[in-house]
């Protein structure tokens, strides 16, 4: 599992005092408000957060030491990362980046359905994209279907709805 996880991208500046707009890649923009620091790729830079707020589905953020629009402009297009240790997920929650690549097997027979290759957020529940031999099957990420997730073993056990893999 990666230590640094992508959380969003700086898309533009905001105002003239060094603030930036971050397009969040999280379940909710509010998730980013809980951090004191973020990183650029490879931890090239540590950005200490002075203040942040949600504004129209983006996060407006002011980093320490970035005080002008000219200074902020050089960060446009940068992907931001968080340290896995900076957040405690609720029991039964996972980072999408940890789920991608899991082998998906039948909970009863052990049959391999493929590899989880993508997660879509639909509102009601997430949808897992399972790829096998070039074919993608979508399964709902609900407790009636997804029975266990074992990151250490690299596998997910499911009981698919009837006809899903027919």
Token pair in block for residue 126: 């997430």
pLDDT 10s digits, 85-136? 998 888 888 888 899 999 999 999 999 999 999 998 887 889 999 999 999 9
Cα–Cα distance, 161 to 166 (Å, whole number): 10
CB 12 within 8 A of CB 18: no
Tokens 């990362």 -> residue: 81
E strand or H helix at 87:
none
**For position 90, what pLDDT does the model report?**
85
Q: What is the dihedral of CA 114, 120, 122, 123, to 10 degrees?
A: 110
SS3 content of the chain, % helix, strand, coil (to 5): 15, 45, 40
Write down the domain spans for the chain. 4-85, 96-158
**For position 166, what pLDDT does the model report?**
67
Token pair in block for residue 102: 């899991």
Q: Residue 58: how many CA atoms within 13 Å on its side-chain side?
A: 13
Give SS3 for 157.
Answer: strand
CA angle 154, 133, 26 (to 5 degrees): 50
Of 71, 70, 45, 49, nearest in space to 60 by CA: 49
pLDDT 10s digits, 56-71? 989 999 999 999 999 9
- CATH level 2 (architecture), domain 4-85: Beta Barrel (2.40)
Of 14, 11, 8, nearest in space to 68 by CA: 14
Question: pLDDT higher for 1 or 74?
Answer: 74
Q: What is the dihedral of CA 126, 130, 134, 136, to 10 degrees?
A: -40
Mean predicted lDDT score pLDDT of the chain: 93
CATH homologous superfamily, domain 96-158: PRC-barrel domain (2.30.30.240)
pTM: 0.77
CA–CA distance from 104 to each of 69, 128, 150 (Å)?
Answer: 47, 10, 10
Decide whether 4-85 matches 96-158 in CATH topology: no
**For position 76, what pLDDT does the model report?**
98
């Amino acid at each position: 599992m990666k230590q640094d996880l992508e959380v969003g991208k700086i898309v533009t500046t905001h105002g003239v005092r060094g603030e930036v707009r971050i397009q969040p890649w999280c379940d909710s923009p509010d998730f980013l408000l809980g951090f004191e620091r973020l990183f650029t790729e490879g931890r090239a830079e540590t950005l200490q957060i002075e203040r942040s707020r949600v504004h129209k589905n983006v996060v407006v953020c002011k980093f320490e030491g970035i005080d002008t629009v000219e200074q902020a402009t050089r960060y446009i297009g940068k992907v931001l990362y968080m340290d896995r240790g900076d957040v405690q997920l609720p029991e039964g929650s996972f980072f999408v980046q940890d789920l991608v690549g899991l082998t998906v097997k039948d909970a009863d027979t052990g049959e391999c359905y493929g590899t989880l290759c993508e997660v879509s957020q639909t509102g009601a529940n997430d949808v897992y994209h399972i790829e096998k031999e070039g074919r993608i099957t979508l399964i709902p990420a609900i407790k009636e279907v997804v029975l266990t997730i074992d990151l250490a073993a690299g596998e997910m056990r499911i009981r698919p709805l009837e006809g899903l893999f027919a």
